Amino acid sequence: MAKTSQTRTVTLTDNETGQTYEFPVISGSDGPDVIDIRRLYAETGMFTFDPGYTSTGSCESAITFIDGEKGILRHRGYSIEDLAGKSDFMEVCYLLLYGDLPTVKEKEWFQNTITNHTMVHEQLLFLYRGFRRDAHPMAVMVGVVGALSAFYHDSTDINDPQHRVIASHRLIAKIPTIAAMAYKYTIGQPFVYPRNSLSYAENFLRMTFAVPAEDYSISPAVSRAMDRLFILHADHEQNASTSTVRLAGSSGANPFACIAAGISSLWGPAHGGANEAVLNMLHEIGTKDRIPEFIERAKDRDDPFRLMGFGHRVYKNYDPRASVLRESTHEVLDELGVKDEPLLELAMELERIAIEDDYFAERKLFPNVDFYSGIILKAIGFPTSMFTVLFAVARTVGWVAQWKEMIEDPSQRIGRPRQLFVGEKERPFVPVADRK
Ligand code: SDX
């Protein structure tokens, strides 16, 4: 846990009043120290001002550590490179939830527990019928996951540790089933039920791509790639959607409603929606000779176009997940027998040109997790509209782990930021007949 420095403080001096204020510095186990400003308003009558929270720590957490300058990502102390290369998604789920990699027996228990929660209530199937067939699958995810609270709300007392564990397992187990059903519904194919003999990734692939008319054979290369994609997207500190889940949960809302809020936030193209936006951008660029035109547009302040899959609030170095994904892309395409994927050639050329350009170098803009993921997902057979859904499937364990950590934090309070008010001062009401 955090250590409040007994001696180290920082001092604020108000140059108008000459008043000075001292605030303690708190050190964690790694990364930047924080200035504890919880007494700032009481002592100074002023708020801090940090739109976008670029310099604000919102909580204590022991789950994920990122060093943006060095391009480091660790979950409970294990590097993302080790986890992606040597572990599997079920182990990473256990690690995020419980703090350590599972033993053989713990892994077997966890795997069985998740497997036996993969089916959804049969009544939920009728909920899909309320959507148009051409609904974006993320809209379906928001609606159906939010509706889960109607099925489990009476049995999810967030103050009951056992209920929290069951809700966590249900969400991790059911999110792939719900996601596969969202895809099936949009293409007019029947839902495929989970099969307990399959791994998490195999089950998801079968529920997504199998049809009743024939047996579905699962490619080991594809299920391994799917499992690795889940690991790479599982959690990422206090990003926009995780902060949304924490803020929603801080009011005591049930976990299903909180995860639905996280899915909504992830949908944005500046966040999880970027993987879909990258593929759309690559299709728009089309050929290598048009790359300079789009690089110039990305640099033009008056043009809203941005290089999707590039840049990151925290990473000012290569996103370590993008490095793993770039290597995986080559492996998966080779194993799938996809030769010379033009989108991969285009993406690699775009990356080469961009990172050599001063504009991107000065702003330390590198490819992020979304830059290559879509090329793998397209090769596996997912439509672009499903890319952010897959991000949500993987990130659900991170959201759940962060939600659980927040609920179990004894210092947890409802999140309620303040503001800098710049609106009208008090003014008299004017009856409508007298308004000019
Ligand atoms: C994810 O937070 C997380 O951890 C998220 C995530 C996770 O796992 O949860 O990692 C997943 O969301 C990855 C990011 C996916 N989004 C995209 O790829 C969309 C494109 N990227 C940008 O929109 C942007 O880089 C953000 C949103 C990711 C970060 O934005 P910031 O931190 O607010 O940075 P900024 O907008 O202040 O940019 C700083 C400068 C600006 O130029 P100047 O005003 O200094 O002249 O860099 C420029 C920006 O215009 N810039 C870009 C750019 N990203 C930033 N210019 C062109 N193309 C880009 N992609």
- Determine which residue's CA is closest to atom 20 belonging to ligand 1: 308
pLDDT digits over 348-392, tens only? 999 999 999 999 999 999 999 999 999 999 999 999 999 999 999
Whole-number pLDDT of residue 391:
97
Whole-number pLDDT of residue 154:
63
Compute, in angstroms, the gap from residue 309 CA to the centroid of ligand 1: 8
* Span 102-125, average pLDDT: 97
* Span 188-213, average pLDDT: 97
Query: How far is 12 from 7, CA to CA, in rounded Å?
Result: 16
- Determine which residue's CA is closest to atom 55 belonging to ligand 1: 311
Compute, in angstroms, the gap from residue 373 CA to the centroid of ligand 1: 17
Which whole-number Å values give the CA distances from 422 to 51, 133, 160, 419, 425, in the listed order?
Answer: 14, 45, 43, 9, 9
**Which atom, in ligand 1's list, is nearest to the CA of 241?**
9
Query: How far is 73 from 152, CA to CA, in rounded Å?
Result: 34
| pLDDT above 90 for 156 | no
361 lines ligand 1 (CB under 6 A): no
Annotated active-site residue in 88, 235, 312, 319: 312
- Determine which residue's CA is closest to atom 26 belonging to ligand 1: 312
250 lines ligand 1 (CB under 6 A): no
- 370 tagged catalytic: yes
Instruction: Provide the 8-state DSSP code for 53.
Output: G
Residue 96: closest CA among 65, 70, 72, 68? 65
| pLDDT above 60 for 5 | no
* Helix and strand counts by DSSP (H, E) for the chain: 18, 6
- 312 tagged catalytic: yes
- Determine which residue's CA is closest to atom 51 belonging to ligand 1: 311
pLDDT digits over 54-80, tens only? 999 999 999 999 999 999 999 999 999
374 lines ligand 1 (CB under 6 A): no
Whole-number pLDDT of residue 155:
66
The answer to whether the beta carbons of residues 293 and 353 sit under 8 Å apart is: no
* Span 188-204, average pLDDT: 97
The answer to whether the beta carbons of residues 114 and 90 sit under 8 Å apart is: yes
* Span 230-245, average pLDDT: 98
Give the pLDDT band of residue 322 (cuts 50, 70, 90): very high
Whole-number pLDDT of residue 7:
79
Q: What is the CA radius of gyration of the chain?
A: 24
| pLDDT above 80 for 292 | yes
